[in-house]
A = this chain, B = another copy of it.
Amino acid sequence: MHPDRRYTLTASCPDRVGIVARVSGFIAEHKGWILETAFHAEPPEQDDANSPALGRYFMRVEIKADSLPFGLDRLCEAFSVIAREFEMDWTIADSAVKKRMVVLVSKQEHCLYDLLARWKCGELQVDIPCVISNHEDFRGFVEWHGIPFHHVPVTPDNKVAAFAHMKSLFESARGDLMVLARYMQILSPDLCASFPGRIINIHHSFLPSFVGARPYHQAWLRGVKLIGATCHYVTEALDEGPIIEQDVIRIDHSDSVDDMVRYGKDIEKAVLARGVRYHIEDRVLRHGNKTVVFR
């Protein structure tokens, strides 16, 4: 990550000859200084005779903002010509405009403390307009950081209203990103569907192993020798959204379920923090139910 103000272009399009040349030529023509680039060509689906002849091309380019002779608006306008020509899905982010991250939390503090420490020291370049919780426990801690705290209890009876309320809180906060920092309620399908690619969860297992409830207990029963965590985008299918990041740690026969829960926290917060950072820095491009992550 560069300290200078920069525009980050991310795009994907059908693969063909000349994409890099056209995009880098456009930037060079305007004397744009490239800070970082990454490209990836995803081949056509293997084993599928009916799949299209071409694959898909993904790219991410960081341009030093003050090397260009114009601002973001003109850049987008000028680039849209190329984007149309190559049928791109694209976006250009301005590092001077921080994304707005709403954090959801329940009763475990490890991910919350970790995210706030990273935000406080400037590692996570975001604004946090509010924290939402189904419990009151962290009000003091969150408000001490100068961040508004909303308590939205969720019970079997009030789910529809509660999630509708959370949706409106997120919208009022002009949230770009909702992070479930060990939030222990399953979001309503409506909420999931409203913000595709904008809700990030941390699941406390190495998916696709141990979907659903009590994954550490499932891991203990199976006798695995490593436990893991998975950071993924939330979709309506529980624990089946596109995976952004994963990691594992070693355990052994002497570790009880409680030990796993304890050790697991370390891997949960690390994996969540990496996934959130990749998203915030526009390093994650979705491709069907998978992700391209330009670390």
Query: A-side interface residues toward B, CB under 8 Å?
Result: 1, 3, 17-18, 20-22, 24-25, 27-29, 31-37, 39-43, 46-47, 67, 108-110, 113-114, 116-118, 120-121, 123, 140-141, 144, 206-210, 217, 222-226, 228, 242-248, 252-254, 256-259, 262, 265-266, 270, 273, 287, 289-293, 295
Contacts and interface: CB of A to CB of B under 8 A. Distances in A.
Contacts of A265: 123
A207 B114 CA distance: 26
Q: How many copies does the complex hold?
A: 4
A31 B33 CA distance: 26
Contacts of A252: 293, 295
B259 A243 contact: no
A113 B123 CA distance: 14
Contact of A21 (B28, B42, B246, B254): B28
Given A109-B117, A123-B262, A253-B292, A224 B243 contact: yes
A27 B213 CA distance: 41
Contacts of A140: 144
Contacts of A217: 47
Contact of A223 (B22, B116, B243): B243
Contacts of A293: 225, 252-253
B46 A34 contact: no
A35 to B, nearest CB: 7
A102 B39 CA distance: 35
Contacts of A245: 225
Given A109-B117, A253-B287, 7 more contacts: A108-B121, A110-B117, A206-B248, A222-B243, A223-B291, A225-B244, A253-B291
A100 B239 CA distance: 42
Contact of A27 (B21, B120, B291): B21
A1 to B, nearest CB: 7
Contact of A20 (B3, B34, B109, B266): B34
29 contacts: A1-B259, A17-B31, A17-B67, A21-B24, A21-B28, A34-B41, A36-B41, A40-B253, A40-B254, A42-B253, A43-B256, A47-B217, A108-B121, A109-B117, A110-B118, A114-B117, A123-B262, A144-B144, A206-B226, A206-B248, A207-B222, A209-B209, A223-B242, A224-B243, A225-B245, A253-B287, A253-B291, A253-B292, A266-B273
